[in-house]
């Protein structure tokens, strides 16, 4: 057992998990290998049915800095509910959200702390790359080659800049002051919305232009979740409702309209007509051209036909 350095800042690493018993050991091993050792790792289980619990209990017995928790029913099912619950019980002055299928490089926490303490900053932004278990020969690619710009809110929404949820280290004081929390109404795109809200609350980042996290590519990751369309529609509507507060430019709003069409079509293909129409009603409140309104009307008619007859799939494509 490594003795914690009580004179060093305590970092809370909060990890939601669901059926990751076969790979979460890699994540925890990378945390155990950190050069900054004064941390606590809270793993919050979202109702796993595999051996996740037994794996976590072994790790927590080996090192009491790792603790295993089950999401209470007072928090919504999903990674956001798990993260919000973990945050409510953690003790650290600094927070690092992390995923149960990715790994930290050994210098991650110490590099973040040094950068964060170099000025009046609220969180760090660093690079992530991707690895693939099924083909280790693939060249690793970066999350985004560009981390920052002069117009971060618009450029983040447009994906011209970006970073992963695992990358930042946050000052807890900044999260408390702004009451920044994860939206428990959505399954995917939670990090996307969280970071946009952080930017709109004027939280100030310090940039670290080096890879500190490696993210695993696999078929069962949240980005491939079958319910990602309604989550993205929810985020699109939220951004549109707040477009003036966020100072979104016309390029960004046009991009969001296009994304809305794509996700609307995806829901029709899944025969989720009710969900699609729910968000369309919200979306119609915005300034849409007659041509765009006619597009939605045609797709809705084709969607009804497809739901009833299973014919016309190609007609509802974006």
In the chain, what are the domains? 11-223 (3.90.550.10), 226-316 (no CATH)
Per the model's pLDDT, the better-predicted residue between 221 and 177 turns out to be 177
* pLDDT at residue 151, rounded to an integer: 97
pLDDT range class, residue 75, cuts 50, 70, 90 = very high
Residue 316, token pair as written in the block: 């509802």
pLDDT range class, residue 2, cuts 50, 70, 90 = very low
| Burial of 212 per CB tally in 10 Å (0-12, 13-18, 19+) | buried
* pLDDT at residue 152, rounded to an integer: 97
* pLDDT at residue 286, rounded to an integer: 64
Pairing outcome for strands 103-104 and 94-97: unpaired
Kindly list the distances between the CA atom of residue 191 and the CA atoms of 149, 197, 219, 223, 299, in Å, as whole numbers in the listed order: 19, 10, 19, 11, 30
Beta bridge partners of 94: 11, 171
| Burial of 71 per CB tally in 10 Å (0-12, 13-18, 19+) | buried
pLDDT range class, residue 307, cuts 50, 70, 90 = very high
Half-sphere exposure of 165 (CA within 13 A, CB side): 23
pLDDT range class, residue 141, cuts 50, 70, 90 = confident
Torsion of CA 136, 137, 142, 143, to 10 degrees: -40
- pTM score, whole prediction: 0.92
Lowest-confidence segment of 7-11, 39-43, 283-287, 295-299 by average pLDDT: 283-287
In this predicted structure, the answer to whether residue 284 has a pLDDT above a threshold of 90 is: no
Q: What is the mean pLDDT of residues 127-133?
A: 89
Asked whether 40 and 10 are in contact (CB, 8 A), the reply is yes
Asked whether 116 and 169 are in contact (CB, 8 A), the reply is yes
In this predicted structure, the answer to whether residue 60 has a pLDDT above a threshold of 60 is: yes
* pLDDT at residue 240, rounded to an integer: 86
Separation of alpha carbons 238 and 241, rounded Å: 5
pLDDT range class, residue 273, cuts 50, 70, 90 = very high
């Amino acid at each position: 057992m490594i003795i914690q350095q009580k004179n060093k800042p305590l970092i809370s690493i909060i990890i939601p998990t669901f059926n990751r018993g076969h790979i979460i050991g890699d994540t925890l091993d990378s945390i155990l290998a950190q050069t900054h050792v004064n941390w606590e790792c809270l793993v919050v289980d979202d109702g796993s049915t595999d051996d996740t619990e037994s794996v976590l209990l072994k790790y927590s017995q080996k090192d009491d800095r790792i603790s295993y928790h089950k999401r209470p029913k007072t928090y919504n099912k999903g990674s956001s509910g798990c993260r919000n619950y973990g945050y409510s019980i953690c003790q650290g002055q600094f927070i690092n959200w992390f995923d149960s299928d990715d790994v930290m490089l050994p210098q991650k926490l110490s590099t973040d702390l040094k950068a964060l303490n170099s000025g009046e900053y609220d969180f760090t932004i660093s690079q992530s790359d991707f690895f693939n278990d099924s083909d280790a020969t693939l060249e690793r690619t970066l999350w985004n080659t560009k981390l920052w710009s002069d117009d971060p809110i618009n450029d983040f929404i447009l994906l011209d800049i970006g970073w992963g949820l695992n990358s930042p280290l946050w000052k807890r004081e900044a999260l408390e002051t702004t009451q920044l929390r994860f939206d428990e109404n959505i399954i995917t795109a939670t990090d996307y919305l969280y970071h946009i809200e952080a930017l709109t609350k004027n939280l100030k980042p310090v940039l670290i232009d080096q890879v500190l996290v490696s993210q695993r590519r696999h078929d069962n990751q949240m980005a491939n979740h079958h319910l990602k369309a309604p989550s993205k529609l929810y985020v699109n509507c939220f951004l549109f409702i707040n477009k003036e507060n966020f100072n979104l430019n016309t390029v960004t709003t046009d991009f969001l309209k296009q994304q809305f069409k794509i996700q609307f079509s995806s829901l029709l293909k899944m025969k989720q007509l009710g969900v699609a129409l729910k968000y369309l009603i919200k979306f119609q409140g915005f300034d849409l051209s007659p041509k765009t309104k006619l597009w939605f009307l045609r797709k809705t008619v084709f969607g009804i036909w497809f739901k009833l007859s299973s014919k016309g799939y190609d007609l509802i494509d974006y």
